[in-house]
Amino acid sequence: MWLVPNSTEVELLFGVTCNFFITMASGCTSEDLFDAIIMADDRFHDEGFQEGFDKGTRQGLIEGRNHGATHGARLSAELSFYYGFAFTWKCIFQDSPEPRTRKKLKALENLLALIQSFPHDDPQYGNLQEDVGKVRAKFRQVCSLVNVPSDFRDYVSKGEEMSF
Amino acid sequence: MSWVKSIPSSEDDVFDEDEEDTNLQKKEWRYNMEKRLKDGFRDGMDSGKEASLQHGFNMGFRDGAAKMVIVGQLKGIVSAMQCWCQLQQLDPPRLASVTELLQIIVRHEDTMIERMQMAQQHLPASVGDITDCISDLSVQHVDSCCGGVHCSGKSCHRSEGAKEDNSTFPCPSTHCSLSMEENLKQLLKSCMNLVYELDFPEELLHHVKQLMSA
Amino acid sequence: MKDSLTALCKLSGHPDSRCWFVAWNPSGTLLASCGGDRAVRVWGREGDSWVCKSVLQDGHQRTVRKVTWSPCGNYLASASFDATACIWRKKDDDFECVTVLEGHENEVKCVAWAPSGSLLATCSRDKSVWVWEVDEEDEYECVSVVNAHTQDVKHVTWHPTQELLASASYDNTVRLYQEEDDDWVCKATLEGHTSTVWSLAFDASGQRLASCSDDRTVKIWRECLPGNEPGTDTVGSDLSWKCICTLSGFHSRTIYDVAWCRLTGALATACGDDGVRVFREDPTSDPMQPTFFLSVHMPKAHSQDVNCIAWNTKEAGLLASCSDDGEIIIWHYQSEA
């Protein structure tokens, strides 16, 4: 997929460069002429290149950005979900008179700390995959500890299959 | 380089030549230069794209990530509330109100992601098409969310603005951001009410409040 | 060949189905088996023969892949393709299901009790290894989920004396885990097999680990203590194990199981070529570079793939194997040594 400049742009460019060439060519030796031709050749290419480069840069930005947005959004939605989930259970167990909450609280706090321990909005962070894997594992442990119903797990595992 | 032949030599008086021949040479010259220009353009496009794609991806990734934090957390909070209600075997109406809120939140989140995907599918084929694409998106956006009676009109103006200004790239996920944001605020409010009604800990209430002011 | 392997008894363990696994209880009096018929059976000796003492049914909805005894001998744990593991308590002559461990996303492939009896490990096709803690009231709590493997985890086993866990996977590796800050973490990855690692067995001391694979080899790994062994690059406090012996050329198909007799040191294998083999270590070889020789080979020990092999815990030379043909065979192994 690449861009074709519109006809007016070519006309303009062509006119300018053509004049330049004729000026250069008048009263020159054939060697000079040949150089001039090469120059014109390069110059047209360079001119096109610069134009293309600018537009390619802009298009690359748009394309990359759109692509990145969905990936970043998916991952963030998943991790934010874990955070909200763990935070809520932490609040519940903190106030609970129920015995044997120590292990649950510890796991919940570990999960919360884990999510905050790495820059999950940076796709070039080297350990992203690995750290996200750790978060998912911790989340599964938490689910088991708080004894969430199985239909909930089905609902969540859909999210875990997200390939990033 | 075959087109070299078409260059008039310096000795020749260009205007003495047969006009048709000149035109032909001119045409060929034009054609070849146009081709060089196009080749250059194509090479430039590739290089430019290559140079900026990762940067764009990083930017988009960060933006996309930032957008989902609140709705994602809200979904997590209400999911946990729902699990708790199920484990406590709360009466059906109260459980139903939590479940209903969760479903709306999930829909809201899905819509946000769908919008971003839509933007990806509508990638412009050429620079000239970008403007078309912007208006396309605006049209769709008007159809999908500004057709309702609650439309303030503000967001519609915003997308029209984008149509005129080629230099600012549309980030379609921000389309209609106002009403989406208002919607999210509403969901946070509903969540707060439920936290209060179902007597969840104070700390949770505080956390949802914080999300609201974020 | 002076060493011999004699079939003592053939049991139709799981008729019209596959028999996947057999396990001796700690006192060596009972043998538990499991299979594709979703049942666990417990066998006991009566005179010269072995009879089925109890059938554990209705615990699982799908194939029971592995079964294991608790160190005290009063509990059985079963791992099933229905994504759960069941804990059964011995009650008089029968067993009752006391707990169902849920959490794995899909097929649970193995379950193993730590020597202390307070920890249990499970592994699954979902690539994860779970460690569970048991309290006095028979309550199980998950203490860790470890996602170290990149593929299906086939087997888990504990070190005989330490709290060290080993797992084998479809990703061709063996991994070792230890507890660290309330979490179980992968401390070593043993690479060397070129295909799925199906099973693992520690020797009596726990200094060596045998692994068997789809690549038709058995590898013996040895722990290298930091700084003590030449030629190891141990980093920090992480474990370092290296392969000190590879048994290749003996098996013509996948080796599904390996068992290290804790009484005699003999190594037995169960193979996809239907054969059962017993190896012994050459006592004159360097313990750091041991050589093993084939002591006995019983070709066509079963009519189909041999899935599991298990040495009796108390009676030296008593060996049990089971197969895809649904049969269990109890063998007597005798060596001149």
Convert chain B into a string of H (helix), E (strand) and C (coil).
CHHHHHCCCCCCCHHHCCHHHHHHHHHHHHHHHHHHHHHHHHHHHHHHHHHHHHHHHHHHHHHHHHHHHHHHHHHHHHHHHHHHHHHHCCCHHHHHHHHHHHHHHHHHHHHHHHHHHHHHHCCCCCHHHHHHHHHHHHHHHHHHHHCCCCCCCHHHHHHHHHHHCCCCCCCHHHCCHHHHHHHHHHHHHHHHHHHHHCCCCHHHHHHHHHHHHC
The bridge status of strand C174-180 relative to strand C183-190 is antiparallel
Question: Alpha-carbon distance C190 to C246, whole Å?
Answer: 13
- Per-residue confidence band for C210, with pLDDT thresholds at 50, 70 and 90: very high
The predicted structure's pLDDT at residue A8: 35
Indicate the residue of B42, B57, B203 with minimum beta-carbon distance to A123.
Answer: B57
Taking only the tens place, the pLDDT of each residue in C32-69 is 999 999 999 999 999 888 999 999 998 999 999 999 99
Please report residues of A whose CB lies closer than 8 A to that of C103: 140, 143-144
pLDDT at B148: 34
Closest CA to C37 of C54, C24, C51, C20: C20
For the sheet with C153-158, list strands across it. Answer: C153-158, C165-169, C174-180, C183-190
Instruction: Say what the pLDDT of residue B119 is.
Output: 77
Q: Report the CATH number at residue C209.
A: 2.130.10.10
User: Which residues on C lie below 8 Å from A99 (Cβ)?
Assistant: none
Q: How far is A102 from chain C (nearest CA, A)?
A: 12
Q: In which domain, by residue range, is A156 found?
A: 72-161
Q: Do C141 and A133 touch (CB under 8 A)?
A: no
Report the relative pairing of strands C241-247 and C208-213 from DSSP bridges. Answer: unpaired
**Identity of the residue in B44, B58, B74 whose CB atom sits nearest the CB atom of A53:** B44
Provide the pLDDT for residue C136.
84
Mean pLDDT on C194-200: 98
In a domain, A42, yes or no: no
CA B132/CA C90 separation, integer angstroms: 75
Asked if B200 and A52 come within 8 Å (Cβ–Cβ), the reply is no
Q: Nearest CA to CA, how far is B39 from chain A (Å)?
A: 7
Spatial separation of the C-alpha atoms in residues C200 and C223, rounded to whole Å:
15
The per-residue pLDDT for B123 is 58
Query: Using an 8 Å Cβ cutoff, are C296 and C278 in contact?
Result: yes
> Which of C279, C223, C282 minimizes the C-alpha distance to C255?
C279
Beta-carbon contacts below 8 Å between A and B? 310
Can you tell me the ipTM of this complex? Answer: 0.82
Q: What was the pLDDT predicted at B93?
A: 87
User: Does residue A13 belong to any structural domain of this protein?
Assistant: no
Q: Quote the number of domains for chain A.
A: 1
**How many Å apart are CA C44 and CA C83, to the nearest integer?**
29
pTM: 0.79
Chain C CB within 8 Å of residue A103 CB? yes
- Of all residues in chain A, the one with the smallest CA distance to C131 is A141
pLDDT digits (tens, 9 = 90+) for A56-78: 999 999 999 999 999 999 999 99
Q: Which residues contact B127 (CB under 8 A, 6 or more apart)?
A: A3, A55, A58, A59
Which pLDDT score, from 0 to 100, does residue A65 have? 92
Q: Do chains C and A touch (3 or more CB pairs under 8 A)?
A: yes
For the ranges A99-103, C98-102, C149-153, the lowest mean pLDDT is seen at A99-103
- Find out whether C271 and C256 touch, Cβ atoms under 8 Å: yes
Residue in chain B closest to A29 (alpha carbons) equals B10
At residue B15, the pLDDT reads: 54
Q: Are C220 and C244 in contact (CB under 8 A)?
A: yes
What's the rounded Cα separation, in Å, for the pair C298 and C32?
23
pLDDT of residue B17: 57
> Is the pLDDT higher at C19 or at B169?
C19
Higher pLDDT, B138 or C273: C273
- Residue ranges of the domains in chain B? 63-139+179-213
**Residue A152: per-residue pLDDT:** 60
pLDDT in tens, C239-258: 889 999 999 999 999 999 99
- CA–CA distance, C158 with C51 (Å, rounded to integer): 30
pLDDT of residue B165: 38
What's the mean per-residue pLDDT of chain C? 93
For C304, residues 6+ apart whose C-beta sits below 8 A from its C-beta are C274, C323, C324, C325
C267 residue type, one letter: L
Name the pLDDT band for C2 (thresholds 50, 70, 90).
confident
Residue of B nearest to A27 (CA): B10
B95 near B197, Cβ under 8 Å?
no
What is the domain range of residue C322? Answer: 4-334
Low-confidence ranges of chain B (pLDDT < 50): 1-12, 125-175
CA distance readout (Å), C278 to A26, B40, B78, C198, C275? 96, 72, 59, 18, 10
SS3 assignment, position C24: strand
Range A119-127 average pLDDT: 93
- Which of B1, B34, B57, B165 would best serve as a mutation to test chain A binding (most A beta carbons within 10 A)? B57
Tell me if chain A has a CB within 8 Å of the CB of C183.
yes
Test the A interface: residue of C144, C147, C179, C189 with most A CBs within 10 Å: C147
What local confidence, expressed as pLDDT, does residue B174 receive?
Answer: 47
